[in-house]
Chain A
Amino acid sequence: MSVDLSTRYLGLDLAHPIVVSACSLGFDLGNLKRMEDAGASAIVLPSLFEEQIVHDQLAVHEFYEFTSEKFPEALSFFPEMNDDNTGPEAYLRLVESAKRSLGIPVIGSLNGNSTGGWIRYAKLIQDAGADALELNVYRVVTDSHDDAIAVEAQDLELVTEVCRSVSIPVAVKIGPYFSSLPNFAVRLAGAGASGLVLFNRFYQPDIDLETLRVVPRLVLSTSDEVRLPMRWIAVLYGRVRASLAATTGVHEPQDVLKLLLAGADATMVASALYRRGIGHLKVLVEGTRAWLEERDYLSVGQMKGSISQINAPDPEAFERANYIKTLVNYTGNGAIS
């Protein structure tokens, strides 16, 4: 008897819990098809960044203006193009063609930087045919005058506004840095979010020792990192009225399994696809299936959340004591337990 891998995420019925996370591989329709062929149960498209659109449009505008009406012999320096493609159109075409070409759910992803922008682009992504929308609520607050309560309130407001504006389910992808993540998670669900995606992996800048400059550096995740979303999914499971998806550190079937045990409805993968190719999705699906079969699980539903904080034999293991214990074990035994 084969095990039932199906899961329900954002109200969508998925064949199994392994979903492609938002990543640049998804800009290519051929890759999207390969992901489906390799067994992805849904795909989150890469994010549409409002900030990028704003930057591009202003940059193109400035570029034309900077080089025009400068000198009587050269009133311009470039042919004016019919379409500089600085708007969301290319992204919306991607949503449309993904929907046309794929049988699995397609989830749009959006990072806005103005309330108007969030709502406008959310509607456009919905109109382009997305089955659901993931809001990539990404901000790096650097101003010491910005009050945490106000920042959270703003985020909640935009989630509320977006959820009011669209009829498709909305997931919110957040970072891990909150003083009280469970509280914020509950409030997000209350604002209308159908799901939470844990976590956004912020790209951390680096310092180049040769040039002494700050440089962007993309580092792929490792399996070790899976424990961060695992812990918080375990904590949130059963406490939040929303789907829970884990992203960050999903590389092996074991990572998928741990997240499911902690309570994830879906597990999302990106770095592993860069590292091992899109075909690795098949390894994850089959590995998950094999483990469940070996242990005579009937379904993913059966195991989901079985080692969450509320169901774990030692719930305090997910709390701060865990850190102390780890440290003690490390110093005591010379190995991380």
Chain B
Amino acid sequence: MDRRSVTIDGNEAAAHVAHLTSEVIAIYPITPASPMGELADAWSAASRPNIFGVVPDVIEMQSEAGAAGAVHGSLQAGALTTTFTASQGLLLMIPNLFKIAGELTSTVFHIAARSVATHALSIFGDHSDVMACRSTGWAMLASSSVQEAQDLAMVAQMATLEGRVPVLHFFDGFRTSHEVNKIEQLTPDDARALIDKDLVRAHRERAMSPDRPVLRGSAQNPDVFFQAREASNPFYDAMPGIVQRAMDRFADRVGRRYRLFDYEGAPDADRVVVVMGSAAGTVSQAVSYLNGRGEKVGVVKVRLFRPFSVEAFAETLPETVRSIAVLDRTKEPGAIGEPLYQDVVTALVEARGGDGAMPRVLGGRYGLSSKEFTPSMAVAVFDELKAEAPKRRFTVGIVDDVTHLSLKHDPALSTEPDDVTRAIFYGLGSDGTVGANKNSVKIIGEQTPLYAQGYFVYDSKKSGAITISHLRFGPRPIDSPYLITRANFVACHQEAFLERIDVLEAAEPGATFLLNSSRGPEEVWDTLPAELQREIVEKRLKFFVVDAYRVASEAGLGPRINTVMQTCFFALAGILPKEEAIAHIKDAIRKTYGRRGDVVLERNFAAVDAALAALHEVAVPAEVTGSRHRLPTVSGNVPDFVARVTALMMAGKGDLLPVSALPVDGTFPTGTAKYEKRSIAQEIPIWDPDLCIQCGLCAYVCPHATIRTKVFDPSALRGLDGKAGEFPSRPWKGKEFPGQHLSIQVYPDDCTGCGVCVDICPAVSKEVAKHKAINMEAKTENVLRVERARLEVFEALPFADRSAVKAETVKGSQLLQPLFEFSGACAGCGETPYLRLMSQLFGDRAMIANATGCSSIYGGNLPTTPYATNAEGRGPTWSNSLFEDNAEFGLGFRLAVDQLEEYARTLLRGFSAKVGDDLVRAILEADQREEDGIRAQRERVAALKRALEGVEGAEAASLVAVADALVRRSVWIVGGDGWAYDIGFGGLDHVLTSGRDVNILVLDTEVYSNTGGQASKATPRGAVAKFAAQGKGVAKKDLGMIAVDYGNVYVAQVAIGANPLQTLKAFREAESYPGVSLILAYSHCIAHGIPMATAMSHQKDATASGYWPLFRHDPRLAGEGKTPFHLDSRKPTLPFQEFAMKEARYAMLSRTDPRRADFLLRLAQRDIDERWHFYEQMAGVERTVPERGVVGVVS
């Protein structure tokens, strides 16, 4: 049998089988399972057939609940059907899981197991999602490696067809789903031979058909439900045997043999660890290590967790076992133990109970949210098993200094064999490092007899993110599902990292260190931080340097250095002879980039050929000579929490934090992003005050709040002006601040260098047309020093009085303090300017409910938080519930706030005598529409609290507790289009009808940005996206008009780059409207395939073409003879095609399929024309809104 060796990740391994054996695939994107759906979609798009000779129908649904429903229906109608999901997605499927199992329906769902959000969301892997499905009646089959993710996917499909019990086939999210490893790939013939056609026919015969009608899904009563539930018992009794037979048949054909429980280790082991998932490989290595030292230990790898076969488990366990540790990758707070532990205990009792031979059983948790689990931790577990008084419940991999459950382990212990090459590469997100490393794994895995493994760690930022690639190569299959801690090769692709992180931490003595540096072998040493020099000297590293940027640039590849670095790696690692390696690299380049054209290939080949000539060994001095030092993670006066906790996370040392360091309930301080000085920009904007017209646009569009304006009395500079040398400012042009000056300041270490501010600046020099009032300049050390000093002065200046600022003007709004700053969003992000603006206008009284997505990641992904506080300590308070429920979540804020306000008002009325009638009346009748009214109310509430200080009684205390609710709160419901148009639309629609005072901000990127560009119902016709590779065929949903239709909803469609003032008006009107407001904010995105630096200007074309018309619908204007719907943009003047061809999402289709592109673009133009015609008519429509102003009329 000719089977290929392929190097793929776990997702692809599982999806390969799923696509071969399915007819319908309904999916919804969720990390880390999304790639399975994307691959299936891509294969179907390329007409790859299943084993029945038909191309599977892949459909993207509006949510996982929707996907499960579609799967359920498809199964009922007789198609072999599957889906892929994880975490909350799986939880959304649970109702259908019960149904599908209850109906004994053959199917397999493939799960990249991921943490379920609790105190925090986490995209990383553990078993909390699948364990939440234990009671659904599904069989649960665990794969522990990439090979198994393929093999057991097939076993699951074979078994479910025979046994009729549906199977959750799961493997560890990221660790297995994203690990690239060399596996033997099953062929379609294998699948044809293993899938029993009679069983497929039986599946179809059980399906619904009007030719043999049945009724399924009846409603049953107490008389029969119970019995009917028990009627399926024989199927569950039979299932373990069926799964084992499927494994045996698989082994007979393929050769790899699996058992329900596989045992490895000493046949006479006294200690055994029971484990499921990728950790099985880790424990195996510990077992070999310990047995090699004369101990007698073993590991039971659980494959079929449900139905749990007591018999098979008992047979697997050596009779000699005295103690067992059961490891669970999940946490079930309050339970006697975690699920696997409980089942093992029960199984032991049932198998051996009563005869006095019960081994001691410990239960431990490990690896939550992809926490590292290493052989040394497994050794610690075995050690615990031989302790006299072991911890019956333990954790391993963390330091628990609160409940003291954690086991100590020796991080220095390594079980890695010497003949394995272990390489670590530090790169920058999107710099090609990861891609080249994936290629290297492929080269070695597929072109040589060697085995290869790749695992890739990304940080939490979307701009300037660091990637760390962990690659292993060796003569035997590599089952080491943990990060490399002893590397014999380390490459740093970005010189700038050396100042910030310890790239040589994992380098073992004698290892090779390769640095990409513009400095040659003679000069580079003196530029290194002393700490790095010390490691190189003390570890006696072989140090090489290559100027990869120069090589790439000379080859015509611009800054793409990946093939240069890859060639140097092969040359230095010596895994293959040099010539052979280069031939393989070129072959890999041909395979990877072949479709991109000859030019790309030739230039990459040229880079490969030139790489080695530029590679030089550095003569390492005998001692450290450097005076430069690595920068401290945080410096200056930082809060205690930041210094103790946040700083460690920022430094990549969060694993070292003990349990006591972390909040017990997921509550974190805001305003910590400012301590994370990442200094990632190569160029930063510098203000030229002589040209500035003081429009404020630079600050207004800044996605990162790193260009700011302040107005100040020049006298405020006294005592400060010496600090910065010249501190540039100009007299404020405006009547509201007579005699005051304006300063515009960049935050040089926070700026991402996106260039949006410079692009939007309208003030151009009359002498040199390319020179503006703000210009990007290289961030040299001198520029940095000057701007840091100026920033220090700028920061010391006070903010303008909010009530004096003309916040209704663009320039005025930028004098308000941003309370959303320095997020980790992509450089030039199109969403964040809206959030920054909202935070400036309303942040000091804002409560934000944030749907899961990009905005929740850059808004709430640790280590730091961009939501900030002002000098009084006020600022946005932020929370993320789920993806699907955000509108309801935010509505809940309003319900509570209104209720607390009402309670406060009720209490207050009873305190007239004690605090003064005037104060009570003033509070109750306060006009809080404008800033000065809000400030006055805050002062009254403060006065009230002071007055209540001396008042005895519970009611006074109660009033003090809720008095802050008397100041108007601004409730914001924020999310992307995936939430608003798709998964959360039902809830959003309900909230739209609620009449309650909430502001809904939809950051519409027209695609699922956070999970990598899948189509949503906001994706416009003709745009290419994942799941719309042929260009989306249907038009975008007009969410604005759906909301307008309700009549009493304030609706605005805005584009901040197209019409800044209209955006500002919309935000102010929406917030002031005492009912539901919806703002649809056009948010450019890297998923549009546009240059981000000019994206704000490009928004003008979006509006000029009618693609994104601007409007405001204000119900307050209804019934006054006015038309509530107001069109704010002019009749389209630009053909849609001219706008569209500047975006790769449209342009790529015109390349790949010009006829379809032409067809869709013409339809899209007609969409635009028709919509404009409709809107124009709407702008002339008078309406009355009978219930306007009546809160809560729909209940």
Contacts and interface: CB of A to CB of B under 8 A. Distances in A.
B346 interface: no
A293 to B, nearest CB: 45
B596 A68 contact: no
Given A78-B1024, A212-B764, A63 B1089 contact: yes
Contacts of B1152: 81-85
Contacts of B41: 79
B462 A57 contact: no
Given A57-B600, A77-B1012, A212-B764, A66 B1086 contact: yes
Contacts of A64: 596
A78 B1148 contact: yes
Nearest to B456: A69
A62 interface: yes
Nearest to A214: B769
B287 interface: no
Given A60-B1148, A77-B1089, A79-B1024, 8 more contacts: A56-B597, A62-B558, A67-B1089, A69-B432, A69-B467, A78-B1148, A79-B38, A82-B46
B1144 A78 contact: yes
Interface string B1147-1158: 010011010000
A57 B596 contact: yes
Interface string A63-93: 1111111111111111111111111000000
28 contacts: A56-B1151, A57-B597, A57-B599, A58-B599, A58-B603, A60-B1148, A65-B430, A65-B432, A68-B435, A69-B432, A69-B433, A69-B434, A69-B467, A70-B429, A72-B32, A73-B1010, A73-B1011, A76-B1012, A77-B1087, A78-B1024, A78-B1145, A79-B41, A81-B1152, A83-B595, A84-B1148, A84-B1151, A85-B1154, A87-B598
Contacts of B462: 70-71
A110 B827 CA distance: 40
A54 interface: yes
Contact of B458 (A63, A67, A72, A80): A72
B598 A57 contact: yes
A276 B560 CA distance: 48
Nearest to A50: B599
B1026 A78 contact: yes
**Residue with the greatest number of chain A CB neighbours at <10 A, chosen from B32, B462, B826, B1144:** B1144
A76 B1014 CA distance: 10
A15 interface: no
A67 to B, nearest CB: 6
A53 interface: yes
A74 B857 CA distance: 12
A61 B600 contact: yes
Given A54-B599, A86-B596, A79 B1029 contact: yes
B123 A67 contact: no
A325 B617 CA distance: 73
Interface of B: 31-32, 34-35, 38, 41-42, 45-46, 123, 174, 178, 429-430, 432-435, 456, 458, 462, 465, 467, 556, 558, 560, 593, 595-600, 603, 764, 769, 826, 857, 1009-1013, 1024-1026, 1029, 1086-1087, 1089, 1144-1145, 1148, 1151-1152, 1154
A112 B558 CA distance: 21
Which of B174, B560, B1148 has the largest count of A CB atoms less than 10 A from its CB? B1148
A61 B593 contact: yes
A84 B46 contact: no
A73 B458 CA distance: 9
A73 B596 contact: no
A60 B598 CA distance: 12
A65 B435 contact: yes
A63 B1151 contact: no
Given A57-B596, A58-B600, A85-B1152, A77 B1013 contact: yes
Contact of B1026 (A79, A84, A86): A79
Top 6 A-B pairs, shortest CB-CB distance: A74-B1012, A57-B597, A77-B1013, A69-B434, A79-B1029, A57-B599
Size class of the A contact interface (CB-based, 8 Å): 35 or more
A80 B598 contact: no
Given A53-B599, A57-B599, A69-B435, A79 B430 contact: no
Contacts of B597: 53, 56-57, 60-61, 84, 86-87
Contacts of A87: 597-598
Nearest to B124: A72
Interface in A70-128: 70-87
A234 B599 CA distance: 42
Contacts of B456: 69
Contacts of B1151: 56, 60, 81, 84-86
A63 B593 CA distance: 13
Of the listed residues A57, A64, A75, A82, the one surrounded by the most CB atoms of chain B closer than 10 A to its CB is A75
Contacts of B45: 79
B595 A73 contact: no
A86 B434 CA distance: 25
A73 B31 contact: yes
Contacts of B174: 72
B1090 to A, nearest CB: 10
B411 to A, nearest CB: 24
Contacts of A70: 429-430, 458, 462, 465, 826, 1086
Interface in A297-318: none
B1013 A84 contact: no
Nearest to B824: A71
Given A74-B1009, A79-B38, A69 B429 contact: yes
Most chain A beta-carbon neighbours within 10 Å: one of B42, B429, B593, B596: B596
A53 B857 CA distance: 39
Contacts of B598: 57, 87
Nearest to A78: B1013
A74 B429 CA distance: 11
Contacts of B42: 79-80
- Best-surrounded residue of A53, A61, A86, A212 (most CB of chain B within 10 A): A61
Contacts of A77: 1012-1013, 1086-1087, 1089
Nearest to A117: B599
Nearest to B370: A72
Nearest to B1011: A73
Contacts of B467: 69
Contacts of B31: 72-73
A66 B828 CA distance: 14
A73 B600 contact: no
Nearest to A85: B1151
Contacts of B430: 65-70
Nearest to A69: B434
B274 to A, nearest CB: 30
A65 B1026 contact: no
A67 B1087 contact: yes
Contacts of A82: 46, 595, 1152
Contacts of A212: 764, 769
A302 B498 CA distance: 80
A239 B1148 CA distance: 49
Nearest to A65: B432
Contact of A84 (B32, B433, B596, B1087): B596
Contacts of B1009: 74
A244 to B, nearest CB: 35
B1083 to A, nearest CB: 14
Nearest to B1010: A73
B1024 A61 contact: no
Nearest to B433: A69
Contacts of B599: 53-54, 57-58
Contacts of A69: 429-430, 432-435, 456, 458, 467
A87 B596 CA distance: 8
A60 B1025 contact: no
Nearest to B764: A212
A313 to B, nearest CB: 52
A70 B1013 CA distance: 13
A58 B123 CA distance: 33
Nearest to B462: A71
